Amino acid sequence: MPKTLDGQITMEKTPSYFVTREAPARISAMSRDTKLIVVVRDPVTRAISDYTQTLSKKPDIPTFESLTFKNRTTGLIDTSWSAIQIGIYAKHLDNWLQYFPMGQILFVSGERLISDPAGELGRVQDFLGLKRIITDKHFYFNQTKGFPCLKKAEGSSKPHCLGKTKGRTHPNIHPEVAQRLRDFYRPFNMKFYQMTGHNFGWDD
Ligand SMILES: Nc1ncnc2c1ncn2[C@@H]1O[C@H](COP(=O)(O)OS(=O)(=O)O)[C@@H](OP(=O)(O)O)[C@H]1O
């Protein structure tokens, strides 16, 4: 990490940090004051999104259903499959709380990042002790993309949406499979809501 000067904030983003066992100890050893931001979304949608991303690179992988279950008849879920494992947020958070207090971690709602990007980024700016520079006026909803986009990209006068790999169409998952996954995640989600003091609304 480069040294941060007064008035600067150094940021580093890697999706796998949150689920990497060694990450909290290593980051804490580097700087105990590091602020941590984690974007979380409904773990069922997250698993399907994860699968969709893998499928786009390896079209020959088995179906989502066959990877989800260890045993389809009993409904036993394969928790060793990373797409499932990553969504057990309470378990991963437990690991971080051994090294960082809750006040140093901000959980951003992936759903609200889409429905109210300025509101969610407002929380991020407050958490980082920044003035709320990014507001509603920076975004518009792009009907073609189906997502919010920036009215102007940084250093440009043109609108900017995230790339093609963000916001892919998900395959249809059998409702029974999705329901079984909802039931699986519910207790972990409840624990996560309790730990963070925030109901993300995935089980409403
Ligand atoms: N504004 C905007 N535009 C496009 N996409 C948006 C936006 N805001 C959030 N999202 C959601 O971001 C999801 C992709 O991010 P990833 O989690 O794959 O990013 S990363 O690879 O972990 O960095 C992606 O998930 P998928 O829909 O499954 O592709 C989106 O739902």
Q: Cα of 6 to ligand 1 centre, how many Å?
A: 32
CB atoms within 10 A of CB 202: 21
Beta-strand pair 76-77/105-109: unpaired
Alpha carbon nearest to ligand 1 atom 15, residue: 166
Ligand 1 atom 30: residue of nearest CA: 167
Q: Name which of 77, 79, 93 is nearest 38 in CA terms.
A: 93
Distance from the first to the final alpha carbon of the chain = 41
Work out the pLDDT band at 4, boundaries 50, 70, 90: confident
- Give the residue ranges of DSSP H helices in 116-174: 117-127
Q: Please report, for the chain, the start and end positions of each structural domain, with discontinuous segments joined by +.
A: 17-196
Q: 84-118: string of b/e by CB count within 10 Å (b at 16+)?
A: bebbbbbebbebbeebbeeeebbbbbbbbbeeebe
Residue 67 has pLDDT above 90, yes or no: yes
Mean pLDDT of 70-93: 96
142 lines ligand 1 (CB under 6 A): no
Find the 74 Cα to ligand 1 centroid distance in Å.
33
148 Cβ inside 6 Å of ligand 1: yes
- pLDDT bracket for residue 147 (50, 70, 90): very high
Residue ranges for the binding site for 3'-phosphoadenylyl sulfate? 41, 49, 166-170
Going by CA atoms, what residue is nearest to atom 9 of ligand 1? 114
Residue identifier of the C-alpha nearest atom 29 of ligand 1: 167
Say how many C-beta atoms besides its own lie within 10 A of residue 140's C-beta: 13
Q: Are 79 and 85 a contacting pair, CB within 8 Å?
A: yes
* Ligand 1, pocket-test mutation among 166, 170, 173, most atoms within 8 A of CB: 166
Global pTM value: 0.95
Q: Average pLDDT, stretch 34-40? A: 98
Using a 6 Å cutoff on CB, does residue 116 contact ligand 1? no
Tokens of 13: 């983003």
Q: What's the CA-to-centroid distance between 108 and ligand 1, angstroms?
A: 13
Residue 93, pLDDT > 80, answer yes
Whether 1 shows a pLDDT value over 80: the answer reads no
Tokens describing residue 94? 């437990």
Does the beta carbon of 25 sit less than 6 angstroms from any atom of ligand 1? Answer: no
pLDDT of amino acid 37: 98
CATH architecture of 17-196: 3-Layer(aba) Sandwich (3.40)
* 151-171: b (≥16 Cβ within 10 Å) or e: eeeeeeeeeebeeeeeeeeee
- Kindly report, residue by residue over 98-134, the tens digit of the pLDDT: 999 999 999 999 999 999 999 999 999 999 999 999 9
ipTM entry: 0.95
28 falls in which pLDDT band (50, 70, 90)?
Answer: very high
pLDDT tens, residue by residue, 56-66:
999 999 999 99
CA atoms within 13 A on the CB side of 170: 14
